[in-house]
Every structure is written in structure tokens, then in C-alpha cells.
Amino acid sequence: MRINPKLLAVVGLLPALLFMLPSFIGQQSSKQPIRNIQIKAISGLQYDQVRFKVAPGEIVHITLINTDEMAHNMVITVPNKREEVVALALKMGEEGQNKNFVPQSDFVLASSPVLLPGSTYSFNFTAPKEEGIYPYVCTYPGHGAVMYGAIYVTNEMMPPLANDSHVPPQRRGEQTKQKEAEHPYPATFPRMYRSFLPDTGPASIAVGMTNQLSYCWDAGACRFRYLWKDGFIDLSRHWGGKGKELADIVGTIFYREENMPFRVGPHKEMPESEYIGYVLEDHYPTFKYRLNGVEVEERIRPTLDKAGMYRQISFKDPNDIVWYQMPRGQQVEVDFDQGKLEGQYLKLSPSEASSFTLTIAESKQKI
């Protein structure tokens, strides 16, 4: 005979439930439903929530979700014992792994197991009757010094986040965060970064020519990508994590080059490209690359009167016609000092290609 174990449990509990019924009903009004608290372990050794409030004696249902790529746990301690518990966990040595890095200690009130990346664990936590600030911390070796938060067991308000010494310093709110210097040298222009940038290849370079005018050049594809105004880039997200986040463009992109614009030879075939590098001239990079074996130098400078750039291009001994595909569908004006237009291409003789300048500047009209 097969017995449904669930059914058995319910039947077995029935007398107890019936017995409890009157008192349960009686308490219903005073007892609040269990609150759900969701806490995520996130990238950069931190919990997404660094503090929350519960009433003394309240039962909360805590769900820990590990969205990070490292293993984490959550250990709730008695007030002011966070660091001691972290130290005790470290001393567990190889025992630690088997015991989820939760030390045997009266300081520990509750704990989750070690959660591998992508896993979740829930548990009920009954807040102590005694008011106080109860820390929670990841005791996985090395994490405890920075990965923690605080449960405020109180009926009062929590203090302002900005001065809260119970949460990690970098999480005390934006108002305390001053814009710090990013480098040990002054942030002057022109300057540049190789980084992960949007809408380009992974080997790209951001150049801020002035604080108002910047461009992206792709060292993988050896070509200009886009030009923007009203700012440079913000690298704080990129630097703050493991390098996954892209640098943020500050300002507005107003010109993009969709393809490699240059052709070498009469048939206008897409050239083979090879990146050589750049040299700095007054802190502006001069890019060097080869197209079908012909060495090319590209110098880019800001235009002075409106948002735009001069691109001074040199093909070294091309021995053949060079073509530049004129941009289309963009709100820019394009000017050139050499060659002549042939359909959508600017045609340059070998000597003209040895040094010519394209001026690309913002315009109200689309070309």
C-alpha cells in the first residue's frame, strides 16, 4: 500500500491544529504577517541591501540570493560582534568549508549556508526582543571585512545613512561621496583611455580632445567610430567592478562612421587593415595603421568654431588611387582640401592622398 506522506503529516497534525485554533484566531489581529526581506549578494563583495529595520520580536522571512560569481553566506550576529565572528570564521581553516564558515559561537544568531553563484536560500529570523543593531556579514574567507550590513531591531527611525557606521563606507549614500581625483595627475585635455566603450569593437580608444568634444577610434578595425559633444566619458562603473560594465559616454553622439571609409586601388575593395599603434603629439594621439600594406597616419583635432573635427590623413606612398566614402544620412557638413568627388566617393590621387584634411562638423541638415 502507498501512503502519501504529505497526507499523513496533515492527518497527524489535525488534532494539534484543532487544539490551537481558538488561540490562533485570538492572536490573529495582533500578529502581523511575516514580512519578506530579500537580500542579494552582488558583484564587488557587497549585499544590495545594507540595512533594514524590524520590530523587536518580529519574525521576518529572509531570502538571500547570490547573483555574484563568488560563493557567499550571511551570518547574523549579536551587536558589535561582526568583526569577532569574521575572525572566528577565518580560524576555522579547512573545517570552515564543511561548516559553511559559520563558527560555533554564542555571537551567531542565525546563518545561511554558503551559497554558490546563482543559488538562493530562505530562512525565518526572529528578531531579538532587545533593541539594537544586529550586524549581518559574509564570513566566507576574505569577504567579511567589506561585505556586511545591519538589522535595526527597533521601533524607532534608522539614523541617516550618510553617517551610519554600521554599513560599509562606500554604501553610506551619494551625499557623502565626493568626486575624487581619478588619477595622480591633473585631468587636463586632451586625454585618452583604451576601454570598453558602447557601439564599437572591444579594442577601442576614447579620446577627449576638449572637455566638450570627444571621439571613439577602434584599434581593432583601424577606423574612426563616432564623435560626440558636451563631455567625455565616465569610467566609474567600468573601474568599480571587474571590468564588465562599459564606460559611459557623457554628452551626445552626433556623427558615426558606419564602415571603413577608405579604399586603395581602382576597384574600391574593402582593404585589409593592420593596427600599428599611436604616438602622442601634444597629448593628441596620431594613429598609425596599414591598409592593404600602405601605411596611414591619422591626426584628429577639434574644430574651433563649431562641434566638429579636422582629420588630417596621410597615406605613405600609396602608388594607387585612394578613395574616401563620403558619409551619408548624418547631420554633419563634410569638407575636404584635396581630391574630387566621384559619386559617393572622394577620389584622391597618390600625391593628394599623401596628405589631405577632412573637416566634419555638426550641421542642422542631414546629408
Partner 1 sequence: MKLIQFYLFVCISLLLACKEKKNERLSDFYVIEDISLPEGLLPEVGAMDFMPDGRLAVAFHRGEVMLYNPETKRWQLFAYGLHDPLGLHVLNNSEILVMQRPELTRLRDTNQDGEADEYLNETDDFGLSGNYHEFAYGPVPDGKGNFIIGLNTASNNAGVWEERRGEYKPEGNPGEGMYSPVPYRGWLMRLTQDKELKPYASGFRSPDGIGFGKDGQLFVTDNQGDWLGTSTLYHVEEGKHYGHIASLVWKEDWKQNLNEVPVATYDSMRTRAAVLFPHNIMADSPTQPLYIADSLNFGPFGGQLLVGEMDFPRIMRVMLEEVDGQMQGACVSFIDSTGLTVGNHRMAFGPDGSLWVGKTAYAWVGDQGIQRIRFQGGTPMDVLKMQAMPHGFRLEFTRPLSLEAASKVENYQFQRYKYAYHKDYGSPQLDKQKVAIKKLEVSEDRKQVILELEEMLPAYVYDLSIQNVSSEKGVRLKNNRLFYTLNRLPR
The H or E element containing residue 240 is helix 236-240
The H or E element containing residue 26 is helix 5-27
Q: Which stretch binds partner 1 (CB under 8 A): 160-168, 196-204, 265-273, 312-320?
A: 196-204
Quote the least distance from Cβ 126 to partner 1, whole Å: 31
Q: Which stretch binds partner 1 (CB under 8 A): 2-10, 47-55, 190-198, 350-358?
A: 190-198
- One residue of 192, 213, 313, 334 binding partner 1 per CB under 8 A: 192
The H or E element containing residue 15 is helix 5-27
Residues between 213 and 232 with contacts to partner 1, criterion CB under 8 A: 219-220
CA-based end-to-end distance of the chain: 83
- One residue of 13, 279, 341, 367 binding partner 1 per CB under 8 A: 279
How many residues bind to partner 1 according to rule CB under 8 A?
48
- One residue of 182, 272, 337, 342 binding partner 1 per CB under 8 A: 182
**Under rule CB under 8 A, residue 116 binds partner 1:** yes
Residue reference for cell 581593432: 220
**Which residues make beta-bridge pairs with 60?**
35, 125
**Under rule CB under 8 A, residue 70 binds partner 1:** yes
Closest to partner 1 by CB, 171 vs 347, is 171
Q: How many CB atoms lie within 10 A of CB 163?
A: 9
Quote the least distance from Cβ 253 to partner 1, whole Å: 16
Nearest Cα neighbor of 265 from 217, 197, 318, 307 is: 318
The x, y and z cell numbers of residue 97, run together, are 568549508
- One residue of 51, 72, 143, 172 binding partner 1 per CB under 8 A: 143
**Under rule CB under 8 A, residue 202 binds partner 1:** yes
- From residue 27 to residue 56, the character string flagging contacts with partner 1 as x (rule: CB under 8 A) and all else as - is ----------------xxx-----------
Nearest Cα neighbor of 277 from 198, 360, 179, 205 is: 205
* Burial of 256 (C-beta count, 10 Å sphere; 0-12/13-18/19+): middle
Residues between 81 and 100 with contacts to partner 1, criterion CB under 8 A: 93-94, 96-97
Q: Which residues contact 314 (CB under 8 A, 6 or more apart)?
A: 296, 297, 298, 354, 355
Nearest Cα neighbor of 151 from 137, 138, 162, 140 is: 137
- One residue of 55, 260, 276, 326 binding partner 1 per CB under 8 A: 276
Q: Which residues lie near partner 1 (CB under 8 A)? A: 43-45, 69-70, 93-94, 96-97, 116-117, 141-143, 180-185, 191-196, 200-203, 205, 219-220, 235, 239-244, 275-281, 285
